[in-house]
A and B are shown apart, each in its own frame.
Chain A
Amino acid sequence: MAKKKFVVGCFDDEEVLFPAVSKVRTAGYKIHDVYTPFAVHGLDHALGLRETSLHTAGFIYGITGTTTALSCISWIFTKDWPLNIGGKPHFALPAWIPITFELTVLFAAVGMVLTFCYISQLAPFVKKHHFHARATDDLFVMVIECTDTTNAEDLKAFLASNGAVETDIQIAEEGWWLGRYDKEEMRFENKQIVAA
């Protein structure tokens, strides 16, 4: 994990946010992420994010569940411990379908939740830097990653001219790290301005 320099611009309206996003992108800046208080429809398209692969992962987890259930049950009932249940054949496929279905759903659901948490870097006992506390309340927080050539002051001015109500520069950890929010001091150098 590396510490990086970010320029943060806060917007108080999505009507302002969308044109700002496209202007920042055309100006050639790299948007790290936009943190919003609620799901904003169309923002992923505006940011140029690719379609998620989470459902492909879900399909793979699902068929893993199907295979696990079918191979496990058929091995148990035909090879390992064949039982005569109501005179049915040992390979009694219809009776296994409900369990196969359940395991498919279970694998797909649990697998997708865990994958989602991993790619969103969410887990217990793990911390992530918050660029602005009001991102969970009423501010749309656009975070731009600085490169060697970025002039941070210019960028701040550029954001403000596009409607940002608040801008600042932060040097922060971009990924997650082990720790607890209630125990540890925040791990970034210049503390963010929290609204009083």
Chain B
Amino acid sequence: MASIRLQFEIPGKMKTWSLGLIGVGLVALVFGMITKGFSSDEHEQVHFWGTLMYNTIFWTLVCNASMFFICVTTLAMGGWQQSFRRIPEAISTMVPIFGSITFAVLLYVVLSDKHHIYHWLDTAAVAKDPILSGKAGFLNAKFFIIWTTLTIGFWSFLGWRMRQLSNEADIEAMDHETGKNFIFRNTVRAALFTVWFALTVGSTVPWLWMMSIDAHWYSTMYSWYTFASTFVAGLSLIALWMVYLKNKGYMELTNQEHLQDIGKFMFAFSIFWTYLWFSQYMLIWYANIPEETVYFKHRVQGPYKGIFFLNLIINFLCPLLILMKRSAKRNYTLVTFMAVLIIFGHWIDFYQMVMGSLMKESVELGWLDFGILSFFVGMMIFFVGRALASKPLIPKYHPFLKESVIHIV
């Protein structure tokens, strides 16, 4: 492997761009905090903290999806992802960073009693409300804080354990027994993460963080919907980094075959997302019960109509029609374009999921949203770049690496 470049060097341009994006984001953040976040107007406050909430939650979940990707491919005894597994590993190092930002924002919202965001924080209202008092065992500040701490803590910890194990594949060639033992330990750690992932993203956390904004409304589909949304965006993010590193001349062992498989995942999980979107929508539409349709009323017939259907076009029709062909999934330019589109589409999806419930009267998608977005994109580029540079790009002695090298779709 003499010709293979294992060490990623952060290009100056990447540093400039990421710091620039963070700078723009910080300006928006500080300006937003002064004019909106700590203004006396409830509406402005909700706007600012809501924007922070959906951005932090979106980016934490998207980066966490990378670790989920590694864990499920490990559990499935996959070999094809080994040549580029350091990319999702590097992306998953963002979980503690974005996770603590999310935690700080959520903690502030709960502790400062922002009942315009979480209506269930208003204890006086909950006591008089039979539905909310029925949910009080789940929707209360104490449970919220404990569960959020555990969630983010274990995501970071179990993900870190998984990455630590991956380092062993850099040291020396493994014989049969060591290799078997290594794979077994990988399986155990991946299983632990996956179980925790199912208990959090797969069920409780999207209910707690986002669905409880509409405190009376509930949908059992909601968590799966959130998971599908962030998983497909996470896969797109992996594809973006893969194409970027290929462009810079790294990742010699990764080729169109791997790109096509990632493309297939992006295609398949876009369809999966649509399936959940539709399952959630159709049952509510069919039953037409006011306490359920309240969620869709202002989205389908109100000011969010445009975003609601744009969401469906970007996240369903475009991937379906564009990524269907084999040649499209093997085309670096097209996959890059689709990846950016999908990430943007699911960011918009999160926008309407959170802001659609917080600000029902009007859509105020503007400088604050894109400013905060730029902060997170900049942070992501900066830290993922650093994480990539801190380790060899290819786990040279991983027992399954050969499978990845000879991988043909």
Contact = CB atoms under 8 A, between A and B. Distances in A.
B288 A86 contact: yes
Interface stretch (B60-68, B122-130, B277-285): B277-285
Given A59-B324, A86-B288, A94 B281 contact: yes
A72 interface: no
A42 B408 contact: yes
Contacts of A55: 326
Contacts of A87: 288
A86 B408 CA distance: 52
Contact of A97 (B282, B324, B326, B408): B282
Interface in B326-342: 326
Contacts of A88: 288
Contacts of B324: 59
A95 B408 contact: no
A142 to B, nearest CB: 22
Nearest to A42: B408
Contacts of B282: 94-95, 97-98
A189 to B, nearest CB: 41
A41 interface: yes
Contacts of B285: 94
Interface string A84-114: 0011100000110110000000000000000
Contacts of A95: 282, 286
Interface string B272-303: 00000010011001101000000000000000
Nearest to A62: B324
Contact of B278 (A41, A59, A97): A97
Contacts of B326: 51, 55
A59 B328 CA distance: 15
Nearest to B288: A86
A62 to B, nearest CB: 10
A51 B326 CA distance: 10
Contacts of A98: 282
A48 to B, nearest CB: 17
Interface in A72-87: 86-87
A195 to B, nearest CB: 33
B201 to A, nearest CB: 27
Nearest to B275: A101
A94 B286 contact: yes
B405 to A, nearest CB: 15
Most B Cβ at <10 Å: residue of A55, A94, A97: A94
Contacts of B286: 86, 94-95
A21 B285 CA distance: 60
Interface centre among B281, B286, B324 (most CB of A within 10 A): B286
Interface string B341-367: 000000000000000000000000000
Contacts of B281: 94
Contacts of A41: 408
Nearest to A97: B278
Nearest to A95: B286
B146 to A, nearest CB: 39
Contacts of A94: 278, 281-282, 285-286
A98 B282 CA distance: 10
Interface string B303-324: 0000000000000000000001
A59 B408 CA distance: 24
A79 to B, nearest CB: 23
Interface of A: 41-42, 51, 55, 59, 86-88, 94-95, 97-98
Given A94-B281, A94-B282, A95-B286, 16 more contacts: A41-B408, A42-B408, A51-B326, A55-B326, A59-B324, A86-B286, A86-B288, A87-B288, A88-B288, A94-B278, A94-B285, A94-B286, A95-B282, A97-B278, A97-B282, A98-B282
19 contacts: A41-B408, A42-B408, A51-B326, A55-B326, A59-B324, A86-B286, A86-B288, A87-B288, A88-B288, A94-B278, A94-B281, A94-B282, A94-B285, A94-B286, A95-B282, A95-B286, A97-B278, A97-B282, A98-B282
| Nearest 9 interchain pairs by C-beta | A94-B282, A94-B285, A41-B408, A97-B278, A95-B286, A94-B281, A97-B282, A42-B408, A59-B324
